[in-house]
Amino acid sequence: AQERYTSIRDKPAETLCGTRIAMHMNAGLMADLPSLVSSGAEGVGLFRTELQFLVRSHMPKRAELSELYARVMDASQGMRVVFRTLDIGSDKVLPYMKAVNEPNPALGWRAVRVGLDKPGVMRMQLQALIRAAAGRPLSVMFPFVAQREEYTAARAEMDKALERERILGHPLPESLEVGAMLETPSLAFAPDSFYSEVDFLSIGGNDLKQFFFAADRENELVRRRYDTLNVSFLTFLEGIVNRCTALGTPLSFCGEDAGRPIEAACFAAIGLRTLSMRPASIGPVKSILRRTDLVELQGVIHDARSSGVQSVRPAVMEYLRGKL
């Protein structure tokens, strides 16, 4: 099977009906970067910056971070890398930050909430990213945005960081895109102005699904209870895709489900055109996409939904049988 994937490494993820799906990879450590070339990914759709904080025993300095991000950009050879700002709290606790005791950490003080309430670290990180870019294009996204104002406030921090760097005489990025992760159901219903304001959105399916079904992604008793291809969730995702299409907001999906071939094919069928996944999943996902006709698959999903099933998975698996 591995050979089969090698043979399609440099071929596009193009479906039988001629639709191109952009394949990006998720990363978080320097060690992940060689996979960018070996996997055939077109860029890094999610760089989880917290991993660099989690592997240390002390808060990294700005110069260290800046050097690290520059190395990541060098290794990506001009391909797009989307840096996600620090996503800590919940299951990711930094040993050198004062722990807060929360009854429900997944619903608690985490990610951009911490970044906005205690902006010191986020400011340092934004500054390090601008310096690392050193005049190259820069893509940044904020995790766990739950309402428009949080994005606006985080973006204002970015504008302030740019202004500071300009005054200090550092080169500004040649181009800058600032996006948000869509990982709380609230954002699916945010006002149109939010969709116009963000430069792009990326669905964090791991969190989005946990909050949609109210089922803790860390809890073995419930984490596999609800199917991603459950009709309710698929309909919800389709609504997000349709809003982004209508409002011209670039959208990707970067949760673990993007790397599962059956799920990925269904995401393409409901209109997603950019998927970001762990490097090892790129071959298998590309392979299934290249043998799928999205129009046929849309028909299969439509018929399954109309028949009242809970999940479209059995029908989709039947259709994909022999293509896996």
Q: Contacts with ligand PEP in 76-105 (CB under 6 A)?
A: 87
Binding piece for ligand PEP, criterion CB under 6 A, among 54-62, 98-106, 190-198, 202-210: 202-210
Q: Are 32 and 278 in contact (CB under 8 A)?
A: no
Binding-residue pattern over the window 44 to 63 for ligand PEP, x denoting contact by CB under 6 A: --x-x---------------
Binding piece for Mg ion, criterion CB under 5 A, among 89-97, 170-178, 180-188, 267-275: 180-188
257 touching Mg ion, by CB under 5 A = no
254 interface partner picked from Mg ion, ligand PEP, none, CB below 5 to 8 A per type:
ligand PEP
311 interface partner picked from Mg ion, ligand PEP, none, CB below 5 to 8 A per type:
none
165 touching Mg ion, by CB under 5 A = no
Binds Mg ion by CB under 5 A, chosen from 204, 205, 259, 283: 204
HEC string of 69-92 equals HHHHHHHCCCCEEEEECCCCECCE
Q: Contacts with ligand PEP in 134-163 (CB under 6 A)?
A: none
Binds ligand PEP by CB under 6 A, chosen from 40, 89, 179, 204: 204
Binds ligand PEP by CB under 6 A, chosen from 42, 150, 157, 207: 207
DSSP helix, strand, coil percent of the chain (3-state; round to 5):
50, 15, 35
Give, rounded to a whole angstrom, the gap between the first and last alpha carbons of the chain: 11
Binding-residue total with Mg ion (CB under 5 A): 3
Q: Which long-range contacts (CB under 8 A, 24 or more apart) does 237-241 make?
A: 237/203, 237/267, 237/270, 237/272, 238/270, 238/271, 239/188, 240/182, 240/188, 240/201, 240/203, 241/270, 241/271, 241/272
What is the CA angle 203-205-206, rounded to 5? 140
Q: Are 129 and 82 in contact (CB under 8 A)?
A: no
Looking up tokens 């951009």 gives 112
The residue ranges that bind Mg ion (CB under 5 A) are 183, 204, 207
Residues found near ligand PEP in the complex (CB under 6 A): 46, 48, 87, 183, 204-207, 254-255
